[in-house]
Structure 1
Amino acid sequence: MAKTLHITNGDSFTAVLEKLNISGDIITWREMLCEGKTSNDVGSETFWRQRYEYLNRAYKITKDTFINKTLKEYRNLCNQKTQDEIVLWFEYDLFCQVNMIAMLSWLKKNRSDASIAIVCAGNEDASDKLYALTDLTQESLKNLYKNRVYLTKDDIEYGDYIWQLYCENNPIRLQNAIKQNKSQLSYLSKAMEAHIHRFPSLKNGLNELENKMLQKSIQQTLNSKEEIVHEMLKDQGVYGFGDIQFSKMATTLRPLFKSFNPVKLTKTGVNVAEAIENYYPIIRNDKEYLGGTPKYSFLFVEDGAQLLKL
């Protein structure tokens, strides 16, 4: 039996890892826990039911797809019980970091016997650029693996603690907890700060990324929804979102656009972008969750970067 179990952040990197000739079994974590409602008991019936309901509603993911892609791979993970070492291959961004702490929470409960290490891509050179695992050469990846970070019990406890807070309906507690990060999870605080910026702004009812989408639509000459999505993918900081997430965002904001071809805002869209009008009463949706928190139950106050409970 293999001595090492590798858990990757997605199919793209799994394909890369398979070519690296690093020994061990590979499990692909196929989830996007940064979106939709989450419960802290990773892998429970409630957890998977909530995840399926969200993915089906938001992205029309069918039950067959969910079972064959996500649940079968999760069951495969549950059957991996013999490896001495478990290596998590994740990245610096919010998308990856939320999945990573959910994984740490699960491992703490189910594989406390194993040694846990992380290979986390991000700052890889003297530049400000943050790298994805798939951006790196085979040599760089092997070097990252060689220098993988072995997590202490305290690191795992902290990752689990942040996951529990992420799944609570109290993001103010989460915001305070990430300021105390003394763990080896070095990208977690920045990612969670980005999460806090996903609550609607007090100024106009849209969050950081939604406002960025409107600003790009004003400042750049864009000719299609696909071009807006492409621009958001290029300039999203530490969110790590994919095209389907930005496409969904554009659809949500569609009433503020006069046209997508070319991209042009309505008068209300321009007023919202300039914080002359507040879009909160119109965009509010009680089914939208960020972790364990209804998205529209808190406002983000830019002055002081604080959350305000409604």
Structure 2
Amino acid sequence: MSNTLHILNGDSTLYGFERTGIDGDVLIWREVLSEGPLLENINSAAFWKERAAWIGQTFGEPTADYQKKVVEPLARLSEDYKDINLWFEFDLHCQVNMLGVMMLLSQHTDLTERNIYLICPDSFPGKPDFRGMGELTGEELEYLYDNIRVQLSDYDFELATEAWDIYIAKDAVTLEQWLATGRFWGNLHSLKPALSAHLKRLQTNSEGRNYIEQKLLDIYNNGISDRLAIHSEFWKTEPIYGLGDAELNIYLDKLNIV
């Protein structure tokens, strides 16, 4: 076992990461905590049981597969790694997953004996339409590791705990007030814009639709009726949400328009 663990947000980054010269073991985070129900205690069996049930119902993944792909790899968080690197991007999908990982780390490890680092790009030189680390080469991932990696502090974990508690409460007023406090965001520089985007999901218009639902409906009403084309049009202006095809289809199914 290496002294270093890298936690990658999804399989898309793995291809490039395997082509780096960066040492360490890899844990792939395969959850999508930005969608579906969340219990407060992420370290409880009930939390993962509810997530498995929702993932199965929504995406058709058998519980046994979820256990193997998502839950079992989390045992590595309790192993004796000296350095743990979190590779998470700027969008809401990644930021909520990052919060979940930080909550697990705070419960599974003695943070005084671990160095926890974050690699969180919101842009990349020469890529004006940067969408995420899955599009980067091994050399480009090494550039991020060497140039933007930051060590997370106790304050960062305290901030993450506050953000997690507010996120799972799903209360727009509380979140709006929290975002408006003018706090110091520490090393979690992408958290405020991501949660500001989430606030727009919690708020609804006079017809009862949130921002994402209304945006998708507007795209449809402008003459785009193919799901994949709707996805592409949404991504042009809303990369902050980090929604993939499967997640966008949750909203389209609710709208029942295509």
Aligned to 1:18: 18
Q: Which residue of 1 aligns with 2:136?
A: 136
Letter in 2 for 1:245: E
Contact 1:194 1:239 in 2 (8 A): yes
Matches within 5 A, 1:107-146: 107-111=105-109, 112=111, 113-125=113-125, 129-146=129-146
Among 89, 92, 115, the alignment partner of 1:91 is 89
Q: 1:223 to 1:203 in 2, by over 3 A?
A: closer
Distance 2:225 2:220 in 1: 10
When normalised by structure 2's length, the TM-score is: 0.90
* Bigger shift: residues 151-160 or 119-128: 119-128
- After superposing on structure 2, the runs of 4+ consecutive aligned residues of structure 1 that deviate more than 4 Å are none
Displacement of 1:200 after TM fit?
A: 4.5
| 1:222-252 superposed Cα distances (whole Å, 9 cap, x missing partner) | 3523322332233323000000111222121
Structure whose residues are more often strand by fraction: 1
The one-letter amino acid of 2:153's match is T
- Residues 121 and 131 in structure 1, CA contact (< 8 A), matched pair in contact too: no
Confirm or deny: 8 A CA contact 2:16 2:141 kept in the other structure. Answer: no
- Offset, 1:123: 2.4
* 1:126 Cα deviation after fit: 8.2
Question: Which has the larger share of helix?
Answer: 2
* Partner residue in 1 for 2:226: 224
* CA-CA distance at 1:106 after TM superposition: 1.3
RMSD: 2.0
Q: What SS class does the counterpart of residue 91 from structure 1 fall into?
A: coil
- The size of the alignment, in residue pairs, is 253
Are residues 41 and 145 of structure 1, via their aligned partners in 2, closer, same or farther at CA, if it must alter by over 3 Å?
Answer: same
SS of alignment partner, residue 202 of structure 2: coil
Note closer, same or farther for the CA distance 1:27–1:214 as it changes in structure 2 (3 Å cut): same
Distance 1:11 1:126, change over 3 A: closer
1:7 and 2:10 matched = no
**8 Å Cα contact 2:201-2:211 kept in structure 1:** yes
- What letter is aligned with 1:170? D
Q: Take 2:231 and 2:46, find their aligned partners in 1: how far apart are those partners?
A: 33
Query: What is the TM-score normalised by the length of structure 1?
Result: 0.76
Q: Distance in 1 between matches of 2:171 and 2:186?
A: 22
CA distance in 1, matches of 2:127, 2:176: 28
Identity %: 29
Q: 2:202 aligns with which of 194, 199, 204?
A: 199
Deviations 1:153-212 (A, max 9, x none): 111211122112212253433332234243110000000011111124232211111111
- Return the alpha-carbon distance in structure 1 between the equivalents of residues 18 and 126 of structure 2: 29
Partner of 1:302: none
**Contact map agreement 1:102 1:160 (CA 8 A) in 2:** no
> Quick check: 1:63 aligned with 2:66?
no
* 1:187 equivalenced with 2:190 (yes/no): yes
* 1:140 Cα deviation after fit: 2.5
Tell me if structure 2 keeps the 8 A contact 1:233–1:242. Answer: no
**1:235 alignment partner, one of 237, 244, 249:** 237
Distance 1:152 1:238 in 2: 25
C-alpha separation in 2, matches of 1:41 and 1:71: 15
| Alpha carbons 1:165, 1:171 under 8 Å: kept | no
Aligned ranges 1:138-157 → 2 under 5 Å:
138-147=138-147, 148-157=149-158
Whether 1:209 aligns to 2:212 is: yes
